[in-house]
Amino acid sequence: MFFKFLALLGVTIIGIVVASTGLSYKGEPEREWRTTGWFEGTSTDVSSWAVALYAGLWAFDGWDNTNYVTGEFKNPSRDLPRAIHTAMPAVILCYMLANISYFFVLPSSTINATNTVAVQFGGKVFGPIGALVLALVVSASCFGALNATAFTSGRLVYAAGREGYLPSIFGKIGIAGSAASAAGLRLRHRSWFREALIRIFGDDVGIGYTPIYAMMFNFTLTTIYISVGEFATLVTFYGVAGYTFYFLTVLGLIVLRIREPHLERPYKTWITTPIIFCCVSLFLLSRAVFAEPLQTLLVLGFNVAGVPVYSWRIRKRDGKNLLNVEAVSAVTMGMSNRNHWTTDAKSGCSQLRRWTMQDTILCWVELMPGAELTYTEKHTEYSNNKRDEHTQVMMDVEDVGDDVAR
């Protein structure tokens, strides 16, 4: 992140120096910005402005990624507002200064004709070496953005798999059949090289602890997208699809504010912000229909095609939830007499094996008075020390159940 801001700051300073002194590799810098209006020759059609906004918003895309991984924050109510209120203004300011520097050095015809403005900027100021350096800088910046996007998009698919909205295979960690077996394999089979990486980069569970199937799913979709059409087509297609769901998501926030005004919210934005966002999103979506009707219809067809699949997954998910409720009821009835286990209780617990570790522990706490202290200790240990193996924790919880049942 620091490297990106440093690169943008360097472009800004170089552009100002070249515009002030006239020093550059390829003659005088561009003077057109002094004599010609910056909006001269641009389109006044509202639909064209909407399509142009999609291209501009593409550069800022990623602003929403932080919200997807708030579950990874230690203190989201404190850290999320800090990230939003500092990162976005800083990025907007740096991008504006960099673009002004491009106009100081390059003619508008060059800027309009190329997709690699930074490379043209480097070539104009420093020659071929400068073009190469700027190309490497842009590539490094894109790699960092790719890393963040891959992380958040993988977590989205992983969460959808865990919640039952997608097939359960996308909710698995690693290549092993479960998180516990994956962690166990890593702990049992570690080479000296892995040991060195662990000491340098993190704990022994964190290395390679990745939702690989979710990442492969995203990789497949990305390959399909980039193999169809040109870059400009992809930008518009992604913009229409993305802002369709952005609009629906933020509209849901407004609905929740109205229906549940007293709901506890660790972070609460001003109501004017989602209202303005929904208005802008509606403008972008409505004008895109006139500017790019074919791409808009493709996006609409793509979304509509997913409705039957979504409905099918929801029904299947609700069926699983009903089985889990029946399992809890069986455990409750079987443990009504705390002196012994019944067949119903054991059967119910076998169904609860499908739950996550923390869900199962919470179930034990609700069903067995006296286990609260043990649960708190186990949960604190699990949260603060990821080296605990899931299988061992499950065995400990079962021991607690046996002790209480006795």
Q: Are 153 and 81 found together in one domain?
A: yes
* Domain-embedded: residue 180: no
pLDDT of residue 128: 84
Q: Are 286 and 319 found together in one domain?
A: no
Residue 165 reports pLDDT greater than 50? yes
Number of domains comprising the chain = 2
* Domain-embedded: residue 206: no
Q: Are 259 and 327 found together in one domain?
A: no
Does residue 341 or residue 62 have the better pLDDT?
62
Q: Are 219 and 337 found together in one domain?
A: no
Q: Are 274 and 371 found together in one domain?
A: no
Q: Which pLDDT band holds residue 353 (cuts at 50, 70, 90)?
A: very low
Q: Are 275 and 323 found together in one domain?
A: no
* Domain-embedded: residue 203: no
Q: Are 251 and 344 found together in one domain?
A: no
pLDDT of residue 124: 83
pLDDT of residue 252: 92
pLDDT of residue 368: 41
Q: Which pLDDT band holds residue 255 (cuts at 50, 70, 90)?
A: very high
* First-to-final CA distance of the chain: 56
Q: Are 233 and 339 found together in one domain?
A: no
Mean pLDDT of 66-74: 72
Does residue 271 or residue 77 have the better pLDDT?
271
Q: Are 126 and 215 found together in one domain?
A: yes
Q: Are 73 and 127 found together in one domain?
A: yes
Mean pLDDT of 332-341: 44
**pLDDT tens track for 273-311:** 899 999 988 888 887 777 777 777 887 887 888 888 777
Q: Are 386 and 254 found together in one domain?
A: no
* Domain-embedded: residue 205: no
pLDDT of residue 1: 66
Q: Are 148 and 240 found together in one domain?
A: yes
Q: What is the CATH number of the domain that holds 99?
A: 1.20.1740.10
Whether the model clears a pTM of 0.95, i.e. scores above it, the answer is no
Q: What is the mean pLDDT of the chain?
A: 70
* Domain-embedded: residue 395: yes
Does residue 315 or residue 364 have the better pLDDT?
315
pLDDT of residue 32: 66
Domain boundary pick from 276, 291, 306:
291
Structural domain span for residue 394: 315-405
**pLDDT tens track for 109-123:** 788 777 788 888 888
